Every structure is written in C-alpha cells, then in structure tokens.
Amino acid sequence: MTAPLPSDTLTFPHAYAVIAPEGERFAYGDVHREFSLASVTKSIFAWALLVAVERGEADLDDAVGPAGSTVEHLLAHASGLAENDGTVRTGVATKRIYSNFGYEELGRYLAARTGVSVRDYVQKAVFGPLGMDESVVPASPAHSGISTVADLEKFAGELLRPRLLSTGMVAQARAVHFPGLAGILPGYGHQKQNDWGLGLEIRDHKQPHWTGAAFSPRTFGHFGQSGSFVWVDPEADRAGVFLGAEPFGPAQKAVWPALTDEMRAI
C-alpha cells in the first residue's frame, strides 16, 4: 500500500500509522525514530492518573488548583488556571482555558499522593503494561514525553480497545466534562463549544480542527505543538498517530485534515 499522501508532502522527517482493533493497518516512515510528544504527553499522563484513581491512589474529586477546583477540572482544562502559570483567569467551570500549568499541578498532586515520580508512575501504570519500551515522560506531565510511532501505536490501541481501565472509567474519560464551555483550541482559535474529556480533546463539531471532515463528533485524542497527534474515531473503529521533526505550523495545519481523512479510510 502506498502512503495516504505522497511522502514529499511534508519535507521534514515524520512517521505515522493507522491502528485497527486487530493491530496495525498501515505505517509510514521510521516508526522507531524518537520524537517529542509535546502535549500528547497529557493524554498518556491522564491515562496513568486514571489508573491511580481506580487503584484508590487518587480521586477525581480531590481539591487541586484554585479554590473550588478538583482533579476532574484540571484534567478537563476547566479550573480557570492560565496556560503557563498559576494565574487564575476565570472562575472554575466557566470557560475552557487550556492549561499546561494545570497538568503540572496534577503531576505534583500524583507524586504527593503516591510517593512516586511522574516518570516512574507513568512507566509503571502505562508504558510497562503496554510494552512501550521506547517511551519516557522524563519530567513534565504536560509536554516532556518522548516516544516513537511504534510505541505510540500501542497507546492508540489502548485508547481504541482499553485494557488498563474499567469500562466505566473509560466512559468517563471519553465523555464531555463541563459541557458547553467556550474556549481557545490551541492553534485553531476560539471554539464556541470547546469540549474535552479527561485528558482527551473531544472532536464534536469544532471548526477549524486538525482532523478532517470525515471524522465523527465522537472522535477523541490530542495533538502537540511538536507536530504530533493521536486520534481515535469510535465510529470508524480506527486510531491514528503521527510524529514529526518540526514544530506544528502552517505545513501541518495545511496537510493534517486531508491526511487524517485518508488515514481514517484505511
């Protein structure tokens, strides 16, 4: 099978893959080359934190962040915290403000509750069980992850057919939390309804968006400013991952919608 788009469409090193319930459907590029995950790290860390919740080591209702904010608010970017510092910009659950700082708070919370560093907890809860031997979250739970397409396929497979979390917890992760909140989708501007689950962005009817027009509103995933993404469309029963050597910019913005539509169709 040829690549969904010509290999010279993006001129920098990159790799991507499509995953079905039975495993890999298609892969392009060097799937064992290491790339930065940037904010795709958040979804992996969130999955580890939900494992901790199910083990009784954390609780979605624990108070973390500004007054009135909880673990749930921080995971869903609804705490009111600014993007990169502890400034409180709005009331809890009144606006969707994408917050790296909120995830740093969650990292500190998890380490305090478990006595285990973010790096080690993610390894124990996610990377180890999934056999992701080429991945690490060395520091920040918001953006420090490093992985390969081969490994990220395993995480995408987990999102598609979860085995680390209960059915009920998976349903919570994929559901919209604090629905109806407006906010900025990084790289794509203001969204009147900027839906998020727990560490997962929900596609819904956002426009513009980094996934293509064929994707169902139930699609969930994450993209990162390093030029990375992971998506799952439950209606297509497919998942996709992409990693690249250049930060997100006009090239990715121009190509990703068509590329993701082609990937979804495989």
Average pLDDT of the segment spanning 246-255: 95
pLDDT band at 3 (very low <50, low <70, confident <90, very high): low
Average pLDDT of the segment spanning 188-197: 97
Give the pLDDT confidence score for residue 8 in this predicted structure.
62
Average pLDDT of every residue of the chain: 96
Give the amino acid at 30: D
Average pLDDT of the segment spanning 50-74: 98
The answer to whether 264 and 218 are in contact (CB under 8 A) is no
Instruction: Report how far residue 100's alpha carbon sits from residue 49's, in angstroms, rounded to the nearest whole number.
Output: 16
Instruction: Report how far residue 41's alpha carbon sits from residue 9's, in angstroms, rounded to the nearest whole number.
Output: 26
Instruction: Report how far residue 264's alpha carbon sits from residue 262's, in angstroms, rounded to the nearest whole number.
Output: 5
Instruction: Report how far residue 126's alpha carbon sits from residue 132's, in angstroms, rounded to the nearest whole number.
Output: 8
Give the pLDDT confidence score for residue 9 in this predicted structure.
82
Residue 110 has pLDDT above 50, yes or no: yes
By the 10 Å C-beta count (0-12 exposed, 13-18 middle, 19+ buried), 76 is classed as buried
Those residues whose C-beta lies under 8 Å from the C-beta of residue 74, and which sit 6 or more positions away, are: 64, 65, 81, 99, 102, 103, 105, 106
Residues 131-187: tens digit of each pLDDT: 999 999 999 999 999 999 999 999 999 999 999 999 999 999 999 999 999 999 999
Average pLDDT of the segment spanning 5-34: 90
pLDDT band at 6 (very low <50, low <70, confident <90, very high): very low
Give the pLDDT confidence score for residue 5 in this predicted structure.
56
Residues 232-247: tens digit of each pLDDT: 999 999 999 999 999 9
Other CB atoms within 10 Å distance of the CB of residue 118: 26
Phi-psi region of 178 (alpha: psi -120 to 50; beta: other; left: phi over 0): left
Residues 198-220: tens digit of each pLDDT: 999 999 999 999 999 999 999 99
